[in-house]
Structure 1
Amino acid sequence: MSKATRKSNTRLRKKHFSNDKLNMLVDTLAAHAEEINQQNLKREVQQRKKEIWEEVARNVSAVCTTLRTVKDCGVKGETLIDMGAGPCTIQLLSAANSFNEIIVADYTERNCRELEKWWKNEPGAFDFTAFAKRVCEMEGNRQTWIEMEENLRRTIKQVLRCDITKCNPLAPIVLTPVDCLLTNFCTENVCTDEKSFCEYLKNMTSVLKPGGHLILTALLECTVNIMGKHRLPSFPLTESFARIALIDTGFAIRYFKVLPSTDDSPEPLTDHTGILFVLARKEL
């Protein structure tokens, strides 16, 4: 091999070596950058989860306060239905002491499955311990949170699908009219205008017997709910229209209260101005 050829091969090896090192360096930097991005994303997700649960906790406390007020009004009976329950049961912890049986209903199959997992204490069920402890504190610690949860599990008798846009929201099931209907943040997030709000309210409350009670909580003047990347529209319900709708549907209002919104987070999940709490008796 000539001297010129050896020099050429040496330069070529050095060039290849240099390119290999450069590629390794680029790959290492890219992996490090991806790791940093993932860490930042994880922190953002954790912060967002914290904000979401703080909002949930505020709403839970508000709902529990209302249910305590309802209890003070002597609302009790044989059967309560929670319609539009979502995947949650914490709103029913107090109610389990006032009714002999509870039926939980929601529109989506996924939510119903989550409800069943908690009800049957299956592996993978969501852990509501922190919220149950909060409810216990608000109830004066007359029961432990474990006793409260077990009492609710015993009181729940059915988990059903529902669709409040139908005349019989539990179709094809037809139930004997019940003593109490509980619905939280449901109707205003399904309807599109005043007419459909009244229609869906009438559909839901068709499950109530005359003299039965409606317990309703709703977001006031809310136009959007933010769920991850999704922006879900909401009907901007007002206090005055809520009163009219209830009276026109045949209810006598026993308790009507508005809790102003205290959500000052930089990225709120809704744009509501307050939460409405209603206890009403079915007259017709």
Structure 2
Amino acid sequence: MSSIAAVGESYQRFNPRAYLQNNYMPPRADFSSEDCVVPWKLRCLAEAFATGDIHGRTLLDVGTGPTVYQLLSACDHFEEIIATDYLEVNRDVLRRWVQGEPDAFDWSPYIKHVCSIEGKGEQWKEKEQKLRGKLRQILPIDVHQPEPLGSPLGHLADALISTFCLEAVSPDRPSFERALRNVTSLLKPGGHFLLIGALEESFYLAGEAKLSVVPVREADVKEALAKSGYQIHDFRSYVMPPSLKIGVDDVSGVFFAHAQRTPVA
């Protein structure tokens, strides 16, 4: 069984561009079909924020990677958004997008789709600028440390979001559960956590890097959330169709969870 140190070492070969090509371009990013995995994820997030329950001063994204799609519906509901990632190469990709660098990944199809499903009449350029303006910090994180950010933020986050992180950096289920507990320490009691991840996946590719993933089932995720003191408000699963099994991983599906940390009595 791989160790946490070995996982960290394997990520030094992570190629953000290859990862984005594999997962965030067609065929997986097909906006013509609501049945495709990317529109499914965007709708889960949009509907969670549309409840009006998830809002506040600070949203913290745990393990942002080189992506921002998961923050598009969030940016109307928080004063600031903090992105975090273990890898400097991913943090650099995020900074280049925030700064509008010409070689940054083009998220405009995602932004246009989110504006469409939210139905607020918002222009996509407005949302793009709003998110860039609210992404004020891009910080290093290590979810396997009891203090994942290395030092306290100064205040607990009102909400957390995390996509394809905890299971992808954990060598086994106990490590996955500890990582969840560690990041929960960054969330205020009563705060909300939106979690998206892979179901029954053992590896994925990002360029020359072949990254191990701890395979988790729906029941494993629900149990881990309960152990960390969460009440689950919504849990959904997506079954990856054969047409989207393109050889870059062995994922069987994707889960979405909206959970709330138990308030202090």
Confirm or deny a common fold (TM above 0.5).
Answer: yes
Is this contact kept in 1: 2:142–2:148, CA < 8 A? yes
* Residue 235 (1) aligns with residue 214 (2): yes
Which position in structure 1 is the counterpart of 2:166?
A: 187
Q: For 1:116-135, what aligned pairs fall within 5 Å after superposition?
A: 116-135=95-114
After the TM superposition, which of the residue ranges 93-102 and 134-143 deviates more from structure 2? Answer: 134-143
Which position in structure 1 is the counterpart of 2:47?
A: 69
Q: State how far apart, in whole Å, the 2-side matches of 1:126 and 1:159 are.
A: 17
Which position in structure 1 is the counterpart of 2:7?
A: none
Tell me the secondary structure at the aligned position of residue 25 of structure 2: helix
For residue 50 of structure 1, report the CA deviation from its aligned partner.
Answer: 7.9
Unaligned runs of 5+ in 2: 1-19, 30-35
CA offsets, 1:4-42, max 9 Å, x none?
Answer: xxxxxxxxxxxxxxxxxxxxxxxxxxxxxxxxxxxxxxx
Change beyond 3 A, Cα 1:109–1:173: farther
The total of aligned residue pairs comes to 237
In structure 1, which of residues 70, 79, 91 is the aligned counterpart of residue 70 of structure 2? 91
Q: For 1:134-213, what aligned pairs fall within 5 Å after superposition?
A: 134-140=113-119, 142-213=121-192
Which position in structure 2 is the counterpart of 1:258?
A: 237
For residue 52 of structure 1, report the CA deviation from its aligned partner.
Answer: 6.0
Tell me the secondary structure at the aligned position of residue 243 of structure 2: coil
Tell me the secondary structure at the aligned position of residue 256 of structure 2: strand
Q: State how far apart, in whole Å, the 1-side matches of 2:23 and 2:70 are.
A: 20
Change beyond 3 A, Cα 1:265–1:247: closer
Q: Normalising by structure 1, what TM-score?
A: 0.78
Q: State how far apart, in whole Å, the 2-side matches of 1:174 and 1:50 are.
A: 34
For residue 63 of structure 1, report the CA deviation from its aligned partner.
Answer: 2.2
Q: Percent identity?
A: 34
Q: State how far apart, in whole Å, the 1-side matches of 2:152 and 2:194 are.
A: 22
Is this contact kept in 1: 2:27–2:244, CA < 8 A? no
Q: Normalising by structure 2, what TM-score?
A: 0.83
Which position in structure 2 is the counterpart of 1:248?
A: 227
Change beyond 3 A, Cα 1:245–1:265: closer
Is this contact kept in 1: 2:22–2:248, CA < 8 A? no
Which position in structure 2 is the counterpart of 1:11?
A: none
For residue 69 of structure 1, report the CA deviation from its aligned partner.
Answer: 1.9
For residue 257 of structure 1, report the CA deviation from its aligned partner.
Answer: 0.9
Query: Counting helix residues as a fraction of each chain, which structure ranks higher?
Result: 1
Runs of 4+ in 1 over 3 A off after TM superposition: 48-52, 172-175
Answer 1 or 2: higher relative contact order, Cα 8 Å, separation at least 6.
Answer: 2
